[in-house]
Amino acid sequence: MTDYSYEIKIPKERVAVLIGTKGAFKKHLEDTTGTKLDIDSKEGNVVVSGSDAVTLFATRELIKAVGRGFNPELAMQLLKQDSLFELLDINEYARTKNDSIRLKGRVIGNEGKSRKVIENLTECSISVYGKTIGIIGKIEMVPIAKKAIESLLTGSPHASVYSWLERKRREVTRAELSEKDDLRNIVKEEYLDDLKELENEDN
């Protein structure tokens, strides 16, 4: 069976977090995914290899997320097929170092308010680490969180971004309810069809 591999560079200070106490998280990740991690603690280089390309890709994203400040246990949700990881580079929006600091402050907000609002309305987790902003959440919600953060980085007022998020949240909720109604109707129709078949058999 063919082995695939990825090489990921993570900050040196995040290596110990990825490995875990006495190697516990590294072992847990390898056992869960069936992959192998070779970690260079001095340089922060991680080579992850395995035979399942899909699982390997998810494991790579998980490692990148841990490297960008996420708690390893939280990052484990990236192994689910409906989860996604996005990374924004603050330098792409900043013109100077001071600008970068100001933009980070806009995303975090006073006492973390802005980040909390985005997390609550999108059910995503956000990590502002170094020069990056990471997002973990469901596939359909991560693009919404990303758009909100990009809006803040490009100067949109917080109130406008919050209003937009609330509107998108309502749209997603309506869509989910509609899907549930469709499913209920399908089940109901199948149930009625089964009843008709039983009645025909009795006759």
Give me the CATH number covering residue 142.
3.30.1370.10
**104 and 163 co-located in one domain:** yes
User: Are 13 and 62 within one domain?
Assistant: yes
> pLDDT tens-digit profile of 92-150?
999 888 899 999 999 999 999 999 999 999 999 999 999 999 999 999 999 999 999 99
34 and 119 assigned to the same domain: no
> Is the domain of 53 the same as that of 101?
no
Question: Are 114 and 91 part of one and the same domain?
Answer: yes
Q: Regarding predicted confidence, which is higher, 147 or 195?
A: 147
- Same domain? 71 vs 89: no
Greatest mean pLDDT range, 58-72, 96-110, 169-183: 58-72
Per DSSP bridges, beta strands 45-50 and 83-89 are: unpaired
pLDDT of residue 11: 96
Do 48 and 13 share a structural domain? yes
Say if residue 197's pLDDT is above 90.
Answer: no
CB 124 within 8 Å of CB 142 = yes
- Do 68 and 90 share a structural domain? no
Residue 190, pLDDT score = 57
The mean per-residue pLDDT over the stretch 72-95 comes to 95
Residue 3 shares a structural domain with residue 61 = yes
Same domain, 47 and 103: no
Q: Is residue 194 part of a domain?
A: no
Indicate whether 196 belongs to any domain: no
- Assess if residue 198 is contained within a domain: no
Say if 114 falls within a structural domain.
yes
In a domain, 191, yes or no: no
Counting the structural domains of the chain, the total is 2
Q: Are residues 122 and 92 in the same domain?
A: yes
Q: How far apart are CA 34 and CA 61, in angstroms?
A: 15
- For residue 198, pLDDT over 90 is answered with no
Mean pLDDT, rounded, for 175-184: 60
pTM of the model: 0.84
The pLDDT mean for the chain works out to 89
Q: Are 71 and 97 contained in the same domain?
A: no
At residue 200, the pLDDT reads 61
Q: Which domain holds residue 111?
A: 82-177
Q: pLDDT at position 95, please?
A: 86
Within-domain flag for 195: no
Over residues 1-34, the pLDDT tens digits come to 568 899 999 999 999 999 999 999 999 999 999 9
Nearest CA to 124 out of 70, 54, 189, 199 is that of 70
d(CA 114, CA 18): 28
Who has greater pLDDT, 18 or 189? 18
Report how far residue 55's alpha carbon sits from residue 36's, in angstroms, rounded to the nearest whole number.
12
